Amino acid sequence: MKMKERDYLIILYDYYGDLLSADNRRYFEDYYKAFLIVLVVVGHFIEVASDDNVVMETTKWIIFSFHMPAFVFISGYFSKKTQGIYKLLQQLVVPYLVFEILYYILYTYILNRDTELAFLYPKFSLWYLLAMFMWKMITPLFRRLPGYLWIAFVLGLFVGASSLDDNYLTLPRMFTFYPFFLLGMDLDRNRIDLLRARIRRMWAFGIFLAINAFLAWVAVSDRISIKIFYGRYDYEYLGLSVPMGIALRAACYLISYIMIYVVAIMIPGAKNSLSALGQKTMAIYLFHGLIFAVFRRGEIWYQSLGEIVEDAILVEASIGTIWLLCQRPFVAFTDWVTHIPMPLLQKIASFGFIGRLEKLRGVGQQKL
């Protein structure tokens, strides 16, 4: 007699109940976001390590191989519901403009750096807000195209062969990382639960170590620039022919894709102190670049203290920055700046051309 699907699910839940519960799913999601924001901050701080620091160079390769693809992936995962233009402007564009101004003030009047207030050229990590706005705007329409995911991959591969400005409207990065946003959006929540339940962490850890060993070898061999993972630079800038650039970016896509799932399997699902950090990632992301800009001015003195001391200073500075930005003032300001009421803009977004665009985008409908 065949086992009914319902009976199978009951047995599966009894066996893997701790992994499949709603609470543990939420803790897993928060933990994953927390893990990624730690990598983002650490990755930026260790970028200023001296060129001959082998440990930091290898660590950069490991982090940059998947941390931004995974960050984009998890953002897509949480973007299944189509948001209206007003909400997107309020939660992404307004913070982008506010922090562009803050960066400009810091760079110009405190750090005496030569810069301009150019909103079409995002500063430091603010490119992500601009890219997120464009991804969320176009995706409800883009997903109606047949084979939209393959189209996104092809665009990501070939944007490196174009002559687009590497920072104008963050277009190169928008195209390069867009496939991961779509992959995250398309991922069914139950699928990742079952994946975590069926595949042992030790197997995932073995794959993780193997990929990291390969990346460490690439880092030490110094044959390829780590900037291939940045998604910003064209193949000519990286010293690559177009066919070689496309092949390497395709390899980067594969490595990032595997690492996203491997890390997802390895991450615990129980509540802990790090999972709470996952609810404050926006504040950390927006503010950490300001602190990093100040810290970076002193890079000369710590580069002269030896590799071990330099490593300790960079890691401690990044962890200290994360701890600081988890405090209430930064979280409260971030919450305020992403929820500033704009009644006039809300009215404009409800009629005319914008209103018709909202209907085309399917605002208010669940897009799974």
**Amino acid identity for residue 105 in this structure:** I
Cα-flanking dihedrals φ and ψ of residue 2, to 5°? Answer: -75, 140
Residues 179-189, buried b or exposed e (16+ Cβ, 10 A)? Answer: bbbbbbbbbee
Strand partners, 366: 81
Residue 353 CB partners (closer than 8 Å, separation 6+) = none
pLDDT computed for residue 29 by the predictor: 85
State the burial class of residue 299 (Cβ atoms within 10 Å of its Cβ: 0-12, 13-18, 19+).
middle
**C-alpha–C-alpha distance, residues 87 and 235, integer Å:** 36
pLDDT computed for residue 364 by the predictor: 54
**Residue count of the chain:** 368
**C-alpha–C-alpha distance, residues 72 and 257, integer Å:** 11
What are the angstrom distances between the C-alpha of 65 and each of 57, 75, 93, 258?
12, 17, 28, 10
Three-state DSSP state, 141: helix
**C-alpha–C-alpha distance, residues 227 and 240, integer Å:** 12
State the burial class of residue 69 (Cβ atoms within 10 Å of its Cβ: 0-12, 13-18, 19+).
buried
Task: Give the pair of three-digit tokens for residue 247.
Answer: 């092949």
Cβ atoms 325, 287 nearer than 8 A: yes
Residue 324 CB partners (closer than 8 Å, separation 6+) = 291, 330
**C-alpha–C-alpha distance, residues 194 and 13, integer Å:** 10
Task: DSSP letter for 366, please.
Answer: B
Neighbours of 268 (CB within 10 A): 15
- Locate the DSSP E strands across the chain: none
Cβ atoms 274, 31 nearer than 8 A: yes
Rounded to the nearest 10 degrees, the angle between the axes of helix 171-186 and helix 242-266 is 40
CA 260 to chain centre: 11
Three-state DSSP state, 146: coil
Task: DSSP letter for 2, please.
Answer: P
Cα-flanking dihedrals φ and ψ of residue 124, to 5°? Answer: 50, -120
Query: What is the residue-level pLDDT of the chain in tens, covering all 368 positions?
Result: 444 444 444 444 444 444 445 555 677 888 899 999 999 999 999 988 867 788 888 999 999 999 999 999 999 999 988 888 888 999 999 999 999 999 999 999 999 888 889 999 999 999 999 999 999 999 999 999 999 999 999 999 999 999 899 899 999 999 999 999 999 999 887 787 777 777 788 888 999 999 999 999 998 888 899 999 999 999 999 999 999 999 999 999 999 999 999 998 888 776 777 778 888 999 999 999 999 999 887 656 666 677 788 888 889 999 999 999 999 999 999 999 999 887 776 766 666 667 777 777 877 554 43
The radius of gyration of the chain from alpha carbons, rounded to an integer in Å, stands at 21
pLDDT computed for residue 14 by the predictor: 42
Task: Give the pair of three-digit tokens for residue 363.
Answer: 């605002």
Q: Where are the domains of the chain?
A: 19-361
Task: Give the pair of three-digit tokens for residue 119.
Answer: 């909103």
pTM: 0.89
